[in-house]
C-alpha cells in the first residue's frame, strides 16, 4: 500500500476504464493512488445498459449525479435519480440499470482502499477495475 498523502487530481490525470458495453469508470482515489482507505470515482452508464448483479468485499455508497436509474437488490428494483443515494453493505448482491433517456453518471464511494467485485451469476471474484471487471462479464 502507498503511504497516505494529500493530493489533487485533474481530469487529465484521472484514468478511464472501459468496462465494456459502453460503461466507463473513472478512478479518483484508492490505496494504490494515495494510500486512502476509501475508493472513489464515477461510472457512466449509457442509455439502456446495466451492470451485472454483483457484490463487493466492502460497503458501498452510490450517488446518482445525473440521469435516471433503477438499483436492484433483494429481488426488487427501486428508482433512483439525481442526488439520490444508495447504500449497499458488503456482500449484498446489487446492480444498476439505466432506465432513462440520457446517460447515468454515478459517484461511488467504497469504504476500503482495495475493492473486489464478485459476480452473482458465476461466483467469480475480480479486482475492482482489473482486467476481469466488466459491466457484463463475457462481453
Number of structural domains in the chain: 1
Question: Which tens digits make up the pLDDT trace of 87-97?
Answer: 999 999 999 99
Q: Is residue 138 part of a domain?
A: no
Which positions ≥6 away from 122 have C-beta within 8 Å?
137
- pTM of the full structure: 0.93
Distance CA 8, CA 118 (A): 31
CATH code for the domain in which residue 61 is found = 2.60.120.10
Domain that holds residue 27: 15-127
Q: Is residue 96 part of a domain?
A: yes
Residue 67 is placed in which grid cell?
A: 440521469
Q: SS3 for 6-69, per residue? A: CCCCCHHHCCEEECCCCCEEEEEECHHHHCCCCEEEEEEECCCCECCCEEECCCEEEEEEECCE
Question: Which tens digits make up the pLDDT trace of 3-37?
Answer: 899 999 999 999 999 999 999 999 999 999 999 99
Question: Which tens digits make up the pLDDT trace of 35-88?
Answer: 999 999 999 999 999 999 999 999 999 999 999 999 999 999 999 999 999 999
Q: Is residue 67 part of a domain?
A: yes
Q: Is residue 5 part of a domain?
A: no
Amino acid at each position: 500500500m502507498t503511504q497516505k498523502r494529500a493530493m489533487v487530481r485533474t481530469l487529465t490525470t484521472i484514468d478511464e476504464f472501459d468496462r465494456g458495453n459502453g460503461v466507463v469508470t473513472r478512478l479518483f482515489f484508492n490505496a494504490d493512488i494515495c494510500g486512502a482507505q476509501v475508493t472513489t470515482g464515477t461510472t457512466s452508464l449509457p442509455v439502456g445498459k446495466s451492470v451485472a448483479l454483483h457484490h463487493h468485499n466492502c460497503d458501498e455508497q452510490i450517488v446518482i449525479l445525473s440521469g435516471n436509474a433503477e438499483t436492484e437488490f433483494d429481488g426488487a428494483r427501486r428508482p433512483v435519480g439525481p442526488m439520490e443515494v444508495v447504500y449497499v453493505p458488503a456482500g449484498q448482491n446489487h446492480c444498476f440499470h439505466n432506465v432513462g433517456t440520457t446517460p447515468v453518471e454515478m459517484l461511488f464511494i467504497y469504504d476500503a482502499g482495495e475493492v473486489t467485485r464478485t459476480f452473482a451469476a458465476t461466483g467469480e471474484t475480480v479486482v475492482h477495475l482489473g482486467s476481469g471487471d466488466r459491466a457484463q462479464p463475457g462481453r
